[in-house]
Chain A
Amino acid sequence: MPYQFTVSPDFGPNQLAGWHIFNTWLQRQLDTDIHFETYDSFEAQRQAIDEDNVDIIYANPYDASFLVREKGFVAAATPQKPDETTIAVLVDSPVQEIEALTPGSKIAQTNDPDISMMGMLMLEPANLNAGNTTAIHQDSYIQVAKALIQGKADIGFFLSEAFDELSSLVKSQLRPLVSSDIQIVSHALLIGPKLADRKEELTNKLTSMDADPQDKSLLQSLGFEKWAPMDEDEMEFMIDLIEALAA
């Protein structure tokens, strides 16, 4: 049975090819068969994890909590790129600040759990919560932007990176209201119990990837410059932080 590698479904539309190439790199480095599987939704991926069908995962910080604490995964490395959230409105919306938003607001968002969580936290100063707003779920950040432009939603939650990558035509119709600046929460490459004894080897190979020009350009196609090591302690404190923020 080959090992199973998967990526949190929040990756950008241009990154799929890069993750395929990364999987090839992984197989070569670990000298073993690894199958790359993508999931359409966070729920489908959660189920695969539950059924122990995932051995290596590029996980978002919210899922990392469950993977590490419930499933015995450990971090092999983290990209040096924090996950931040942007809340945007239409460019000509009268709303100039979060506090001007009112109950009944319709929020376009993906099912990305950490972005939804951070987005809701940033609405608290306006006394908004899940009970007095309506979530409108979209399959991608481009669809979130479209829902705003088509007037189906009042505000949209974006992974800041995905907002920045919207086409200039789309972006010119939107205005960021607030962006988070948390710095310390990021995705991580996690490995499951079956590969635990190869963690150190994999961490060493990942963190020296940026020294090779071809591997470095692969990382850039995935949206970051280099992998940094992430020890157990750092991961545990990041999880504590997320659990503190989760309702």
Chain B
Amino acid sequence: MHDMSPSDIQGDYQETTLKYFDGNQRKVLVTDIETPYPEGKLIVSRTDTKGNITHCNRSFIDMSGYEESEIIGQPHALLRHPDMPAAAFEDLWKTVQAGDKWHGYVKNLRKDGGYYWVYATVIPNIRKGQVIGYTSVRRKPSRQKVEEAITTYANMN
């Protein structure tokens, strides 16, 4: 993943360095502009077993602000927001690798530095007993649940 580029950012931003689970790091530029979740839509993506994106739908593209060609093949951490605690994703991976369904509230980072909140579900795609990848589907979260998540995550970081 490349560092984020100031020319893509809308509005005033802050610069942070994100350290990923695999030891890599990336410079991200973050604004406090929230994009509201689109009414009635589901944001869907699929990854391979390592978390690299193999498919995404129109709503995913629209909300992330990236082109499809900038998304496919990238690790899903492309959308990781610095306000999200690493522990939330450790829990996600532990759950789905055990073959179970994971639910959680996630703050995602857009290409333009803004963010959007989702209620996400991730499940393993099991074919003939083997995990061949993962699917995530996100829906519109309740504001109250987002406020609770903000407090919880702030205490985890």
Partner of A236, one of B59, B127, B136: B127
A124 and B119 contact, CB distance less than 8 A: yes
Partner of A124, one of B42, B57, B139: B139
Cα A178 to Cα B42 with chains together (Å):
13
B39 and A178 contact, CB distance less than 8 A: yes
Cα A243 to Cα B119 with chains together (Å):
15
A182 and B46 contact, CB distance less than 8 A: no
Q: Which residues in B have their C-beta under 8 angstroms from that of A126?
A: 142
B137 and A125 contact, CB distance less than 8 A: no
Q: Which residues in B have their C-beta under 8 angstroms from that of A236?
A: 125, 127
Residue of A nearest to B46 (CB): A237
B31 CB–A CB distance under 8 Å? no
Residue of A nearest to B126 (CB): A240
A100 CB–B CB distance under 8 Å? no
A221, chain B: closest CB distance, angstroms:
28
A125-B143, A241-B135 in contact; A180/B57 too (CB < 8 A)? Answer: no
Q: Which residues in B have their C-beta under 8 angstroms from that of A237?
A: 46, 125, 135
* Contacts of B80-112 to chain A: CB distance below 8 A: 101
- From DSSP, what is the main secondary structure of chain A's interface residues? helix
A183 and B142 contact, CB distance less than 8 A: no
A130 CB–B CB distance under 8 Å? no
B30 CB–A CB distance under 8 Å? no
Residue of A nearest to B121 (CB): A244
The total of chain A residues at the interface (CB under 8 A) is 22
Cα A159 to Cα B36 with chains together (Å):
25
A115 CB–B CB distance under 8 Å? no
A122-B40, A124-B141 in contact; A183/B57 too (CB < 8 A)? Answer: yes
B50 CB–A CB distance under 8 Å? no
Cα A236 to Cα B137 with chains together (Å):
15
A125 and B142 contact, CB distance less than 8 A: yes
B76, chain A: closest CB distance, angstroms:
15
Q: What per-residue 1/0 map shows which CB atoms of B138-149 lie under 8 Å from chain A?
A: 011111110000
Cα A183 to Cα B140 with chains together (Å):
16
Q: What per-residue 1/0 map shows which CB atoms of A173-199 lie under 8 Å from chain B?
A: 000001111111000000000000000
A127 CB–B CB distance under 8 Å? yes
Residue of B nearest to A97 (CB): B39
B137 and A180 contact, CB distance less than 8 A: no
A121 CB–B CB distance under 8 Å? yes
A184 and B39 contact, CB distance less than 8 A: no
A99 CB–B CB distance under 8 Å? yes
B26 CB–A CB distance under 8 Å? no
A240 and B40 contact, CB distance less than 8 A: no
Cα A236 to Cα B143 with chains together (Å):
33
A211 CB–B CB distance under 8 Å? no
Q: What per-residue 1/0 map shows which CB atoms of A119-153 lie under 8 Å from chain B?
A: 00110111100000000000000000000000000
Cα A236 to Cα B145 with chains together (Å):
31
**Leading 6 A-B pairs by shortest Cβ distance:** A180-B40, A244-B121, A244-B123, A244-B137, A127-B142, A125-B140
Can you offer 8 A-B residue contacts whose CB atoms are under 8 A? A124-B140, A124-B141, A178-B40, A183-B58, A184-B44, A236-B127, A241-B42, A244-B121
Q: Residues of A with Cβ closer than 8 Å to B?
A: 98-99, 121-122, 124-127, 178-184, 236-237, 240-241, 243-245
Q: Residues of B with Cβ closer than 8 Å to A?
A: 38-42, 44, 46, 57-59, 101, 119, 121-123, 125, 127, 135-137, 139-145
Q: Apart from A127-B142, A244-B136, list 20 A-B contacts with CB within 8 A.
A: A98-B39, A121-B139, A125-B143, A126-B142, A178-B40, A179-B40, A180-B40, A181-B38, A181-B40, A183-B57, A236-B127, A237-B46, A237-B125, A240-B123, A240-B135, A241-B44, A241-B137, A244-B135, A244-B137, A245-B121
